[in-house]
Structure 1
């Protein structure tokens, strides 16, 4: 029997974007509800985006009307009248975000328990967008709390286009129950035709004044190419950041004005007003006018915008999963999917780092596309501590029930819920810290209740979300303010970063004043710790190595990109990197693990332990002022002695608050959380052990 019709187990549905996942789930679900009506809400649909809820409501409305089911969207922009109607007579299908579900659990628990009593399915759309994140942890905790409230387990149905290892995904869907594997429905269909072009650009090395920022002269060339290639049809351009989204959209719109043409280029990102986003989505869906959306990941998820003629990427992507999700927007009318990449490389000079010399942006793109064609996607990163979200959920549960004992909280959130990595001692330390900060307090009978600060937090509308925009820190050097940067990765004193076209060493970090003090650092290259939390997977770097070894240039490269590829392969062979893992460049040593950022970040810590300055430059470990002999001796000395533990590594981090509720997490636990996310210590030691022949 169809597992959805049976309704007795979890289900994972994986298929390409716009291939009918929603219909595949809701047709059997609606059939069952039509045959066996529920006296209340029968289906809870959870989406990561309000816009996706609006879109799915539009798509499912006629189906639900046909079988006599009510369907109700519920989020901050939904009219009060619709919510009032559902409160008075709860029934049918409810479409909601995790944040709105959190609000209902805290403020309308009694109504929720009655309205959801006959609940038969929980459908989670774009499940890959939740896995491994603080928001995903909140979602799983919400589902655990909902099951506890209803005193039953409701089948969960996960929908996504890019899930990779579906067995692992099933474990992520219900992590507390080992051996409870879901039914898997996977579409093996891939686009019958795929067209790819990678256009290369060379950023010239131009002299500039000491206090001036270097100007990226190729941006105008990319804008000109986008304008000439994309004008007249509909496309998506992924710019990866809001800053560049606005830049490209404005420049392209200006070119339309200069040529006295109607504008067809518009920005789309989370900071734009809802009306502007919806107008652009509607224009794309109607398809009457040529329309190009310059966007961040806001259009990466499954909002129905119809088919676009191509997808353009104006920077090197970091993951196969993201690239696949974006590519799924093109070629949806039986036509070929079209992917265009516009990739810049820096002109090589005597001061260039290894990543620039080996054209890593270009080579990473080639590796990602190669893995895409092999149908490999990054597996979810699991087993992490999410202490910030745990603080939030402790407050949410206490707010929901008015109070709870510590053992009850641990059993619900850690034993049954998604925080299983949290040991009892860490949980106790977290509760003590929350008590000291007046978030919670304890009554004479042992109940934990909200403290003064906790009541203020839970009572504010902003409480329901666990994610935040990274906090801006001010950068200062010699008493002069250089600017601000978002801190969304771990910080280390003596770490080398890049800002305003110059290299700096972190001298100190003041979390209270949000100030990072810098001193100039000559030479070397910046690691990826600051301002770039997107981590490249081991498999991607290994695929890059295979491309270097083969020396076969992809057929979809243009002339400039082919030049970059040939330069990269020539450098790889000249340095004999197929046979040795490191080489000396001037006073520095470059180490090539050909592994992901978490391993290279950990290697940097291990090398720093031996008194060297080291950083991760796009997967290359750069050790400053270090000879090969000194490096070998340092590693042999380290391996011969006591090895660094995860706890030791965590203690080396500054532990600056990154996630929303980190400020109420003890520093030691913040360090532990960041260590697990950004570092793979075991992988680093395994790599060193494989290189013992080179250490002689």
Structure 2
């Protein structure tokens, strides 16, 4: 019996006759038996590799064969746009067997929500935040609404696992399992990751050892189709626009940038060259993004410029080219972007890197070297999610009304959001008035009402913090959002913003209501947003060091890129040494070229605080030492710290304030939570134990 024979006959009929598929893909075949039998699984395939069908077809079969009724399947995604894109397809599959799929997220109308509360869909496509809102809503009885849930499909699971939304998702799933009275089957969908077994174990949550689990991969990196990857050095954003406008005319091109400001600058430059250009990033209104993505999907000779918002599996039509401005911070991110191409028969996967700065050229070369070596970053859940444990305890009290002070931990089993500080966190919540305590029961207190009670506790339901922004309005049409810095910085003449790839002159700012009114303009425009890029990893920093030492990625290099890399190697020869690290004295500064990555350097800086410059903010590649430190003194200090336990990085007070729910933790726990996330002890020890060379005599 083949895998497809296990599928329900109605599903097989529609695969053959409705979809017109002569056969299933390997991953889809492999997934049928374990998923139909109820195993947890991680399904791995490139973008557009058929992961959704590999999960949904067996689950529809299990739904019919086992007589599941009511809301039995949750399909969870990290992005609303991805949910919107998937919903028609999943609903169509469900209707093959007489079932249906609903859609519930922040943009779902009240009418649609009322209808689903009365008549639950069989499959609900949603986000973790929307599940949380349903659990605590006064309009929903969660015991009834989620009583029939049996399976959870988590799309783009790697995007969840890498930050606190993943811990929040797992905590919510444990509460759902308790309400449903059964362990929930968990199915993760992902592109290539470096540690699939560990990622699946993480997704299984509490009690993972008691449930069968399997990793299934449709295409490994070794057997993936060949890719055309090139690297060019263009030196500036206007030059990048010139190259893009001249290359591949008549084709559909998706251009990724690392910041919203880059997106807006490039989009304006492309439109100035009469290139049909669309824009997508998180500060555009949902309507603006949707219209751009829809127009791009239907157009041919055009460019869409995006941040990572289009990195995940949203369908933007039949792409011809992917272009990367500068470089992403991870190989995994590059693989997601590369996987947007090569879907059409006869086409190949491709990405062209255009570096606008020399440091970006070096980062791109390092990243491509890692990729060619077969490296993909392991997905690591952030350590010590104590602030999520505080949020979950508050959310549980909202859900249940009152929770026993000795039994609340049972809701999450052995899920590691709670460590040996859990009792301390609970005491702090009571002491600060976030929770009230009476008769052995815990319930929401006045401080939680004050901090989070506005808009039905919406601030408590999301674990990420959005920077304060002003809504930008053209008449009644919402264009997007502007950072307050854009509106406060000094300007000569009219204030003109770039948003959505267009120039807008500010006509009025309503500071009290956080609204900015604009009109179209032909004047020069630019936009800025607050926020720093994440630190480079140890592996990426080391790969850049290798490039400076002579390693060249096996990709197509332009003559400009080759020349610029040659110049970089010549100018940076004093910063790298094949046998170890370099300490360079330049003027009145002493710089230790560690190439340890941002977290590795933060760890070294904390351990060597008496020899590192007092105001030093660790960079990715070097640490500034006190200028008066000599060779012997530094060597002694380094040997001493390497012989003992390395202290955690020092956390600034403003950084603690930036941690969501920091106020729900004792200050020392909030600081230690951030310190654990900024630390990379293995990298620090690797660098600290390496040989040292001083670039000039003392």
Tell me whether the two structures share a fold, i.e. TM-score over 0.5: yes
Instruction: Measure how far apart 1:188 and its partner are.
Output: 2.2
Instruction: Measure how far apart 1:320 and its partner are.
Output: 0.6
**C-alpha contact (below 8 Å) 2:327/2:360 kept by paired residues:** yes
**C-alpha contact (below 8 Å) 2:257/2:306 kept by paired residues:** yes
Match of 2:381 in 1: 382
Q: 2:95 aligns with which of 51, 61, 65?
A: 65
Match of 2:21 in 1: none
> In 2 relative to 1, CA 177–434 (structure 1 residues): closer, same or farther, beyond 3 Å?
same
Match of 1:283 in 2: 295
* Cα distance between partner residues in 2 of 1:471 and 1:577: 45
Task: Encode CA deviations 1:313-348: one digit per residue, 9 max, x unaligned.
Answer: 212221111111111111211311221112133xxx
Instruction: Measure how far apart 1:558 and its partner are.
Output: 1.4
* Residue 691 (structure 2) pairs with residue 687 (structure 1): no
> In 2 relative to 1, CA 623–374 (structure 1 residues): closer, same or farther, beyond 3 Å?
same
Instruction: Measure how far apart 1:3 and its partner are.
Output: 4.3
Q: 1:321 aligns with which of 329, 332, 335?
A: 332
**C-alpha contact (below 8 Å) 1:73/1:95 kept by paired residues:** yes
Q: Please give the secondary structure, in 2, of the residue aligned with 1:584.
A: strand
Instruction: Measure how far apart 1:135 and its partner are.
Output: 1.2
Q: Please give the secondary structure, in 2, of the residue aligned with 1:311.
A: strand
Name whichever of 231-240 and 53-62 sits farther off.
231-240
Match of 1:251 in 2: 269
* Residue 266 (structure 2) pairs with residue 201 (structure 1): no
Match of 1:419 in 2: 417
Where does 1:615-694 land on structure 2 (aligned, <5 Å)?
615-629=617-631, 632-636=634-638, 638-639=640-641, 643-646=645-648, 649-650=649-650, 656-691=656-691
> In 2 relative to 1, CA 374–435 (structure 1 residues): closer, same or farther, beyond 3 Å?
same
**C-alpha contact (below 8 Å) 1:4/1:25 kept by paired residues:** no
**C-alpha contact (below 8 Å) 1:366/1:554 kept by paired residues:** no
**C-alpha contact (below 8 Å) 1:34/1:68 kept by paired residues:** no
Match of 2:430 in 1: 435
**C-alpha contact (below 8 Å) 1:164/1:376 kept by paired residues:** yes
* Cα distance between partner residues in 2 of 1:152 and 1:173: 16
Aligned residues: 600
Q: 2:355 aligns with which of 332, 338, 343?
A: 343
Instruction: Measure how far apart 1:554 and its partner are.
Output: 4.5
* Cα distance between partner residues in 1 of 2:575 and 2:76: 52
> In 2 relative to 1, CA 188–642 (structure 1 residues): closer, same or farther, beyond 3 Å?
closer
Task: Encode CA deviations 1:18-68: one digit per residue, 9 max, x unaligned.
Answer: 111101111111122233332211211111111111111122232222221
**C-alpha contact (below 8 Å) 2:611/2:634 kept by paired residues:** no
> In 2 relative to 1, CA 246–574 (structure 1 residues): closer, same or farther, beyond 3 Å?
closer
* Cα distance between partner residues in 1 of 2:136 and 2:52: 29
Where does 1:259-298 land on structure 2 (aligned, <5 Å)?
264-286=276-298, 288-298=299-309
* Cα distance between partner residues in 1 of 2:598 and 2:227: 30
Task: Encode CA deviations 1:484-538: one digit per residue, 9 max, x unaligned.
Answer: 69xxxxxxxxxxxxxxxxxxxxxxxxxxxxxxxxxxxxxxxxxxxx943513222
**C-alpha contact (below 8 Å) 2:611/2:629 kept by paired residues:** no
**C-alpha contact (below 8 Å) 2:43/2:187 kept by paired residues:** yes
Return 5+ residue gaps in structure 2 as ranges. 4-31, 470-483, 487-529
Q: 1:312 aligns with which of 323, 328, 335?
A: 323
Match of 1:154 in 2: 184
Name whichever of 586-595 and 166-175 sits farther off.
586-595
* Cα distance between partner residues in 2 of 1:637 and 1:303: 51
* Cα distance between partner residues in 1 of 2:214 and 2:250: 44
Match of 2:458 in 1: 461
Where does 1:210-249 land on structure 2 (aligned, <5 Å)?
218-229=236-247, 231-249=249-267
Match of 1:610 in 2: 611
Match of 1:183 in 2: 214
**C-alpha contact (below 8 Å) 2:575/2:584 kept by paired residues:** no
Q: Please give the secondary structure, in 1, of the residue aligned with 2:579.
A: coil
* Cα distance between partner residues in 2 of 1:406 and 1:318: 43
Name whichever of 69-78 and 607-616 sits farther off.
607-616
> In 2 relative to 1, CA 195–664 (structure 1 residues): closer, same or farther, beyond 3 Å?
same
**C-alpha contact (below 8 Å) 2:581/2:693 kept by paired residues:** no
Task: Encode CA deviations 1:150-188: one digit per residue, 9 max, x unaligned.
Answer: 121011000011322101101210243353562111122
> In 2 relative to 1, CA 106–5 (structure 1 residues): closer, same or farther, beyond 3 Å?
same
> In 2 relative to 1, CA 251–230 (structure 1 residues): closer, same or farther, beyond 3 Å?
farther
Instruction: Measure how far apart 1:539 and its partner are.
Output: 2.4
Match of 2:558 in 1: 558
Match of 1:302 in 2: 313
Task: Encode CA deviations 1:664-684: one digit per residue, 9 max, x unaligned.
Answer: 322211211111111123542
**C-alpha contact (below 8 Å) 1:360/1:618 kept by paired residues:** no
**C-alpha contact (below 8 Å) 1:171/1:181 kept by paired residues:** no
Instruction: Measure how far apart 1:84 and its partner are.
Output: 3.0
Instruction: Measure how far apart 1:132 and its partner are.
Output: 3.2
Q: Please give the secondary structure, in 2, of the residue aligned with 1:40.
A: coil
* Cα distance between partner residues in 2 of 1:323 and 1:576: 26
Match of 1:540 in 2: 540
Task: Encode CA deviations 1:335-388: one digit per residue, 9 max, x unaligned.
Answer: 11221112133xxxxxxxxxxxxx543232122223223442111223611233
* Cα distance between partner residues in 2 of 1:653 and 1:115: 42
**C-alpha contact (below 8 Å) 2:576/2:593 kept by paired residues:** no
* Residue 134 (structure 2) pairs with residue 104 (structure 1): yes
**C-alpha contact (below 8 Å) 1:39/1:91 kept by paired residues:** no
**C-alpha contact (below 8 Å) 1:167/1:181 kept by paired residues:** no
> In 2 relative to 1, CA 548–278 (structure 1 residues): closer, same or farther, beyond 3 Å?
same
Match of 1:11 in 2: 41
